[in-house]
């Protein structure tokens, strides 16, 4: 029983973080409360313990950063989201494709370099142990 609480704490913190991101971006409590008080979100986090909110927090942060034209931080946020679940790599690849088509080579290099760096940093312990 107590293990379940500790397992769900990061999920609940992620849901509250998404609530704060939506509240800060829109400036309206109504939209943020629609997410936080959604019965599906409460059920997924509280009952099932599915870690979708851990993927959604950097994904929502990436979209907020992209809307504020902070593309470098958005690409890092999308890669972090993709490391939780592969769905996060979809907006990253679309943003990298857009950057490539606009011929902004330095930014494209940063996006790909940060993605490779984060992925390598994540899998370094496994490669180091020979797994």
Residue 8 has a pLDDT of 86
**Does residue 30 fall inside a structural domain?**
yes
Q: Does one domain contain both 73 and 44?
A: no
Q: Does one domain contain both 73 and 45?
A: no
Q: Does one domain contain both 9 and 36?
A: yes
- Where in the sequence is the domain holding 27, given as residue range(s)? 1-50
Contacts of 93 (CB under 8 A, 6+ apart): none
Residue 114 structure tokens: 């940060």
Q: Does one domain contain both 86 and 124?
A: yes
Which pTM value belongs to this model?
Answer: 0.89
How far apart (Å, rounded) are the C-alpha atoms in residues 79 and 62? Answer: 9
pLDDT digits over 25-62, tens only?
999 999 999 999 999 998 888 887 788 889 999 999 99
Q: Does one domain contain both 45 and 76?
A: no
Q: Does one domain contain both 91 and 127?
A: yes
Domains of the chain: total? 2
3-state secondary structure 54-84: HHHHHHHHHHHHHHCCCHHHHHHHHHHHHHH
């Amino acid at each position: 029983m107590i293990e379940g609480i500790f397992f769900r704490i990061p999920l609940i913190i992620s849901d509250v973080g998404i609530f704060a991101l939506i509240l800060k971006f829109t400036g309206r409590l109504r939209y943020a409360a629609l997410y936080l008080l959604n019965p599906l979100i409460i059920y997924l986090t509280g009952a099932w313990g599915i870690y979708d909110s851990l993927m959604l927090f950097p994904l929502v942060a990436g979209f907020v950063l992209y809307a504020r034209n902070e593309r470098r931080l958005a690409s890092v946020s999308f890669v972090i989201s993709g490391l939780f679940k592969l769905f996060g790599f979809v907006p990253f690849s679309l943003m990298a494709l857009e950057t490539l088509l606009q011929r902004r080579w330095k930014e494209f290099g940063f996006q790909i370099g940060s993605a490779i760096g984060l992925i390598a940093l994540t899998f370094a312990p496994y490669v180091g142990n020979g797994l």
